[in-house]
Amino acid sequence: MAVRVLKPGVYAVGAIDWHRKLFDELIPLPHGTSYNSYLIKGSEKTVLIDTVDPAKEYELLANLQKLDVEKIDYVVSNHAEQDHSGTIPRILELYPDAKVVTNSKCKEMLRDLLLIPEERFVTIKDRDTLSLGDRTLEFILAPWVHWPETMFTYSREDRILFTCDFLGSHFAESNLFVNEEAKIYEGAKRYYAEIMMPFRTSIKKHLEMIKGLDVEMIAPSHGLVYSRPETILAECKDWVSDEVKNEVVIPYVSMHGSTEKMVNHLVDALIERGITATPFNLTSADMGELALSLIDAATIVIASPTVLVGPHPRVVYATSLVNALRPKLKFASIIGSYGWGGKMVEQITGMLSTLKLEMLEPVMVKGKPNDDVLKAIDRLADEILKRHKGIGLIKEEQ
């Protein structure tokens, strides 16, 4: 990837991974991704902020060559995960005087993950600064976005905040700056859903802390750079707020059509009651889209046939993901079918243990759903409507 310029002396030197399809062998990447690394040439010192995934090491090194970088004094590591830190060992080999600047927690993790020796580190604390001559970097500890060691680096004179994963998005784009805001903000929201959502409380604090900085650009280490930081910060504030929306998410699997008939009936019943309903057929659903839908939803209804006394394995997977992502959901229910018995309701309920949910009466059918079952689904839709009204998501006159 070509070198791109954020400001005089501040360069994007990372790599774009146009064709990567999966992250952490888990998260689908419909638009690829990028590993952004930034080089700042100060009047006295040169610093590299984060590196790239080892698979793209050659692109970072080629960019440093294009800029004739003969000396790197510091490599700032905002986050120890290997998509940003994985090329640090190679940089330390090529630039033998370079030191890794990071906090003590990140140092510990880099030593474990990359075997970087102690003597190559400069350890900083929250709000410590580093002079590059004409520029000053300030380090701001921001734990749990999304690991315990994460931090931000603020270039005071450039008014650029380097946030690594925070406010990132998985996009492979040749543009450096956000141009199509709606598209990029949806991508950033999805990224938040996939890895940041469990840390909502920490992020709220970090957003408050950023308010005190004079920021002209936010430069994350995935996706594009924000030249209008106030917009993405306002978006993020909405994601982490305690507010839920008048929405129901319905992840489901159906093997012989019974569960699907119940899901379709529920979707229609909810729409008729003025509630947004989104079904996800888990045999083909993009799990990133499911995570995205969970940011705002007030209610989840999990629908499954019974397989070997429990829920379908795809439902088990999706339910464990919902539980781990810890969305703001308030209400839940379970619908589905069985042939001769089982413990699906108990098992799914048990798998949602980290969430503080009010469980609504489940609807289970032996065999094919008849009219009585569909009426029970209508009653479930009524209960959801009542709960949504109860927390002010729907006005009484609607």
Beta carbon of residue 320, minimum distance to ligand FEO (angstroms, whole number): 20
Beta carbon of residue 393, minimum distance to ligand FEO (angstroms, whole number): 33
- Asked if residues 100 and 75 have their Cβ atoms less than 8 Å apart, the reply is yes
Nearer to ligand FEO, 83 or 247 (CB): 83
d(CA 63, CA 5): 12
194 binds ligand FEO (CB under 6 A): no
Backbone phi, psi, residue 202, to 5°: -65, -40
Instruction: Find the part of the chain contacting ligand FEO (CB under 6 A) among 76-84, 203-211, 271-279, 358-366.
Output: 76-84
Backbone phi, psi, residue 153, to 5°: -120, 130
What residue is closest to ligand FEO based on CB? 81
83 binds ligand FEO (CB under 6 A): yes
Beta carbon of residue 117, minimum distance to ligand FEO (angstroms, whole number): 23
Nearer to ligand FEO, 167 or 285 (CB): 167
79 binds ligand FEO (CB under 6 A): yes
Beta carbon of residue 386, minimum distance to ligand FEO (angstroms, whole number): 41
Tokens of 262: 């119940």
Query: What is the maximum alpha-carbon separation in the chain?
Result: 78
Nearer to ligand FEO, 236 or 250 (CB): 236
170 binds ligand FEO (CB under 6 A): no
Tokens of 365: 């059918």
Question: 278: helix, coil or strand?
Answer: strand
Site string for ligand FEO, 215-234 (x = CB under 6 A): -------x------------
Beta carbon of residue 86, minimum distance to ligand FEO (angstroms, whole number): 10
Residues pairing with 278 in the sheet: 249
Tokens of 359: 């469980």
57 binds ligand FEO (CB under 6 A): no
Nearer to ligand FEO, 161 or 298 (CB): 161
Backbone phi, psi, residue 2, to 5°: -65, 155
How many residues of this chain bind ligand FEO (CB under 6 A)? 7
Beta carbon of residue 144, minimum distance to ligand FEO (angstroms, whole number): 11
Residue 159 DSSP one-character state: T
d(CA 57, CA 91): 9
d(CA 67, CA 9): 10
17 binds ligand FEO (CB under 6 A): no
Query: Which amino acid appears at position 211 of this protein?
Result: K
Question: 7: helix, coil or strand?
Answer: strand
Subset of 122-161 contacting ligand FEO (CB under 6 A)? 146
d(CA 191, CA 329): 18
84 binds ligand FEO (CB under 6 A): yes
Nearer to ligand FEO, 59 or 73 (CB): 59
81 binds ligand FEO (CB under 6 A): yes
Nearer to ligand FEO, 52 or 384 (CB): 52
Nearer to ligand FEO, 73 or 83 (CB): 83
- Asked if residues 163 and 196 have their Cβ atoms less than 8 Å apart, the reply is no
d(CA 254, CA 382): 24
d(CA 392, CA 398): 12
Beta carbon of residue 35, minimum distance to ligand FEO (angstroms, whole number): 7
Instruction: Find the part of the chain contacting ligand FEO (CB under 6 A) among 40-48, 75-83, 182-190, 344-352.
Output: 75-83
In order of 50, 81, 153, the CA distances from 146 in angstroms are 16, 10, 16
What does the binding site for ligand FEO look like in residue numbers (CB under 6 A)?
A: 79, 81, 83-84, 146, 165, 222
